[in-house]
Amino acid sequence: MNAPNGSVHSFDVSTGVDGPGTRFVVFLAGCPLRCQYCHSPDTWYRRNGRPASVDDVMAEVERYHRFIDVAGGGLTVSGGEPLQQPGFTRALLTRAHDEGLHTALDTSGFLGDRADDALLAATDLVLLDVKSWSPELYRRVTATGRVGPTLRFARRLAERGTPMWIRFVLVPGLTDGEENVAGVADFVAGLSTVERVEVLPFHRSALRSTRRWGFPSRSRTRRRRRRSR
């Protein structure tokens, strides 16, 4: 069966940020969350990507393959939210893994149920973004999301023995409450395969950018919820 094409937003090469060593990072287009502090809201919509096959992506990777090998890196699939395109993500990770590359999946975990066993078998590391512990606060941060799927996905990864790097963005006045931070810390402490925890800074320029891309205001969100009752 031919692997499905994906909607690819862009490529990048980074060191020590998107997994161990020097990484070739594939940013997929499309994400169901609308995080207030998102630094790349241009990846929210699949229409902002371009069609690409696994062969197309691996041809780009090949240009850096020797450098990545020497630097002890690999390939990271990021976004957007890569699990919005689970078939393409699975095929890409599997191909890279079969070619001897260390593979990483950068995800919010919100669509973790879409990651089947074959996808996770081809994933050496998951970079998991835990946006909040409080369900109410998670909805405020993302406008649409629920924290339950992320927590369920994290537990599943731990049970499988999949290594994780946990990421948490500390936003003054939003996610930095003592109870919220303690909840995240306690949950992460109970996951046996966490190798690293990154507390990431908040950039106000990201908030201005998300407004331009259509993050709903709190008043708009409240009106939408009232209509849905």
pLDDT in tens, 71-114: 889 999 999 999 999 999 999 999 999 999 999 999 999 999 99
* Residues contacting 58, CB < 8 A, separation 6+: 92, 95, 96, 99
Residue type, 70: V
3-state secondary structure of 8: strand
Selection from 204, 201, 181 nearest residue 130 by Cα = 181
- What percent of the chain is predicted at pLDDT more than 70? 87
Longest CA–CA span in the chain (Å) reads 57
Half-sphere exposure of 184 (CA within 13 A, CB side): 26
Quote the pLDDT of residue 201: 76
User: Can you give the pTM of this predicted structure?
Assistant: 0.87
Asked if 25 contacts 78 with a C-beta cutoff of 8 angstroms, the reply is yes
- pLDDT exceeds 50 at position 219: no
CA quadruple 215, 221, 223, 229: dihedral, nearest 10: 130
Whole-angstrom Cα distance, residue 76 to residue 136? Answer: 31
Half-sphere exposure of 167 (CA within 13 A, CB side): 16
How many helical (H) and strand (E) elements, i.e. helices and strands, does the chain have?
A: 9, 8
Mean pLDDT of the chain: 88
Q: Which residues pair with 169 in a beta bridge?
A: 200
- What percent of the chain is predicted at pLDDT more than 90? 75
Quote the pLDDT of residue 202: 67
* Residue scoring higher pLDDT (213 or 17): 17
Residue type, 63: R
Q: Which long-range contacts (CB under 8 A, 24 or more apart) does 196-200 make?
A: 196/165, 196/166, 197/165, 197/166, 197/167, 197/168, 198/165, 198/166, 198/167, 198/168, 199/168, 199/169, 199/170, 200/167, 200/168, 200/169, 200/170
24 — pLDDT class (breaks 50, 70, 90) = very high
Determine the average pLDDT of the residues in 61-67: 92
Selection from 65, 17, 39 nearest residue 204 by Cα = 39
Quote the pLDDT of residue 69: 87
Quote the pLDDT of residue 145: 77
Quote the pLDDT of residue 92: 98
pLDDT in tens, 199-214: 987 655 444 444 444 4
pLDDT in tens, 106-163: 999 999 999 999 999 999 999 999 999 999 999 999 987 799 999 999 999 999 999 9
Strands 50-52 and 74-78: unpaired
